[in-house]
């Protein structure tokens, strides 16, 4: 989409036109009133701005009447709410996400992928687990079943300082996965199922070498039920006698549970430390893709760069999982066209329709997203944001559609239902089995996640210069005329290096424990 459109826009031009059918151009930098626009397209040659326009924002290439669609990427991003003159700033004051009919075709753009044979695939250094899956990290995880045990869980985990872990060089750390739910839930209800599925997914995650549950004792989400419902005592694990469950009320209080927890981890550490990295093909990578703090350049630089990496990983036999269903609203028809079957495409549409109904029931609107920061960065409607976001998905077929935290079993590009919220979505993607996260940002996200390392890709060079300690790669170089393919190769090399143990920028700062946040739909009783 935008990858090809950029080719005709030279770096010296002060605006970008992303597609021949677009009604708007994107300002490369802040534009003054009456500034001449350096465009090379028909009647737009002698355009001048009618008012100051911030960098990243849209300028009309021709007059647009009230009610008419406005296109970017060659797709509808909204409808004019008032007459728009050529050279005028196009944003929230004159553009809105009015509903429109989308053509839902299934599979018409699904093109077969020639997957490389195993002996031709790149490799990384990973931890091969007993079930055959591969981890990029090796953590001991302490998982609270309820918010009431969160403090105790953290106290146990934080006892294990780097000094105390020095004797276990193959263990990346002891982490506390805590949350704010676990009780006042309907037994067997949607929130109960989502929470248990998420916690079970984290316990059995390939980046977790050993784990223990920490509960209070009287909560709705009982440790024993969690183990039984997900047959965790039958999954190959660290201990032959099954998962460890620490219950505060049974052990005599917080202090005694902390002591018992420390003893339990000391029992688990030598077992987890037996794991070693070995060369494995990158087909064992399962990438979670996310964008947060997006701006107008997200769909022009970082997301298309990630899309090229997606295509290459799929060619290498790997798996890619996207999420945040409300953030493809208005662009979902482009993914259904790539579905490998009508069933897969319809599952995605069913999730879209669920969100439409959920928004109606809660009195919300899906165009509440973009956020204020997104809008300040030039994004106006959810349609515009969605079209930029799906560029991360590359061009290969959509092979699967999953519910939140449902185990990922397909290769290729898949979708997981989740809210448009970074930490909730990533929690579900990692619980599904993703062992590394690639995260794009234009406004500057400080996101990290344990136990899966996060590689952050920024959309513009200004952000990279300001937040170099947090950004792993600068895709904004695309706007300076550098090859998108070259930058995508750098990103793939970086993904392989981080998967092999090189700390990402967020990991180097210890970020990622507080970001664990299972999705709760609000069913608190």
Helix (H) or strand (E) holding 309: helix 302-315
For the chain, list the domains and their CATH numbers: 1-100 (2.30.130.110), 139-272 (3.40.50), 282-508 (3.40.50)
pLDDT digits (tens), the chain, 525 positions: 333 334 345 545 899 999 999 999 999 999 999 999 978 765 556 789 999 999 999 999 999 999 999 999 999 999 999 999 999 999 999 999 999 999 899 999 999 999 999 999 999 999 999 999 999 999 999 999 999 999 999 999 999 999 999 999 999 999 999 999 999 999 999 999 999 999 999 999 999 999 999 999 999 999 999 999 999 998 877 777 889 999 999 999 999 999 999 999 999 999 999 999 999 999 999 999 999 999 999 999 999 999 999 999 999 999 999 999 999 999 999 999 999 999 999 999 999 999 999 999 988 888 877 889 999 999 999 999 999 999 999 999 999 999 999 999 999 999 999 999 999 999 999 999 999 999 999 999 999 999 999 999 999 999 999 999 999 999 999 999 999 999 999 999 999 999 999 999 999 999 999 999 999 977 666
| The pLDDT value given to residue 8 | 40
Q: Around Cβ 187, how many Cβ atoms within 10 Å? A: 11
Is 348 strand, coil or helix?
helix
| The pLDDT value given to residue 523 | 61
| The pLDDT value given to residue 524 | 65
Is 364 strand, coil or helix?
coil
Q: φ and ψ at 405, to 5 degrees?
A: 65, 10
Q: φ and ψ at 281, to 5 degrees?
A: -70, 150
56 vs 294: CA distance, rounded Å: 11
pTM equals: 0.95
53 near 60, Cβ under 8 Å?
Answer: no
Helix (H) or strand (E) holding 412: strand 412-416
236 vs 224: CA distance, rounded Å: 17
Taking each continuous run of H as one helix and of E as one strand, the counts in the chain are: 15, 21
């Amino acid at each position: 989409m935008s990858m090809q459109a950029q080719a005709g826009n030279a770096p010296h031009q002060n605006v970008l036109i992303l597609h021949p059918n677009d009604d708007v151009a994107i300002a490369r930098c802040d534009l003054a009133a009456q500034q001449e626009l350096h465009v090379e397209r028909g009647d737009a040659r002698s355009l001048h701005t009618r008012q100051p326009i911030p960098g990243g924002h849209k300028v009309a290439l021709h007059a647009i009447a009230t009610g008419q669609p406005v296109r970017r990427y060659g797709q509808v991003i909204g409808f004019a709410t008032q007459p728009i003159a050529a050279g005028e700033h196009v944003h929230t004051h004159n553009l809105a996400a009015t509903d429109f009919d989308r053509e839902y075709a299934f599979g018409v753009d699904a093109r077969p992928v020639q997957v490389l044979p195993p002996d031709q695939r790149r490799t990384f250094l990973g931890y091969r687990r007993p079930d055959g899956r591969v981890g990029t990290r090796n953590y001991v995880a302490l998982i609270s079943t309820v918010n009431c045990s969160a403090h105790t869980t953290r106290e146990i985990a934080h006892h294990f300082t780097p000094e105390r872990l020095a004797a276990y060089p193959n263990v990346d750390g002891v982490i506390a996965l805590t949350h704010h739910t676990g009780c006042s839930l309907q037994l067997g209800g949607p929130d109960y199922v989502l929470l248990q599925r998420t916690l079970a997914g984290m316990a059995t995650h390939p980046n977790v070498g050993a784990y223990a549950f920490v509960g209070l004792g009287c909560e709705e989400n009982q440790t024993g039920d969690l183990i039984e419902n997900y047959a965790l005592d039958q999954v190959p694990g660290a201990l032959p006698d099954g998962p460890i469950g620490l219950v505060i009320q049974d052990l005599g209080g917080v202090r005694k549970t902390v002591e018992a927890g420390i003893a339990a981890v000391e029992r688990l550490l030598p077992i987890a430390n037996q794991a070693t990295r070995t060369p494995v093909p990158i087909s064992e990578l399962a990438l979670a893709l996310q964008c947060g703090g997006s701006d107008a350049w997200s769909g022009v630089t970082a997301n298309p760069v990630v899309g090229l990496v997606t295509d290459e990983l799929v060619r290498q036999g790997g798996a890619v999982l996207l999420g945040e269903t409300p953030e493809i609203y208005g662009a979902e028809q482009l993914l259904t066209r790539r579905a490998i079957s009508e069933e897969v495409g319809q599952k995605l549409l069913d999730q879209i329709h669920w969100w439409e109904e959920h928004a109606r029931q809660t009195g919300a609107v899906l165009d509440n997203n973009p956020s204020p920061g997104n809008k300040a960065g030039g994004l106006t409607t959810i349609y515009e944001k969605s079209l930029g976001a799906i560029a991360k998905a590359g061009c290969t077929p959509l092979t699967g559609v999953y519910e939140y935290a449902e185990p990922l079993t397909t290769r290729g590009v898949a979708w997981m239902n989740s809210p448009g919220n970074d930490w909730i979505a990533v929690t579900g993607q990692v619980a599904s089995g993703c062992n590394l996260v690639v995260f794009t940002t234009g406004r500057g996200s400080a996101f990290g996640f344990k136990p899966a390392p996060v590689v952050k890709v920024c959309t513009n060079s200004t952000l990279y210069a300001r937040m170099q300690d947090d950004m792993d790669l600068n895709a904004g170089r695309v706007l300076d005329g550098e090859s998108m393919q070259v930058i995508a190769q750098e990103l793939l090399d970086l993904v392989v290096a981080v998967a092999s143990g090189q700390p990402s920028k967020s990991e180097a700062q210890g970020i990622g424990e507080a970001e664990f946040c299972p999705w709760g739909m609000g069913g608190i009783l």
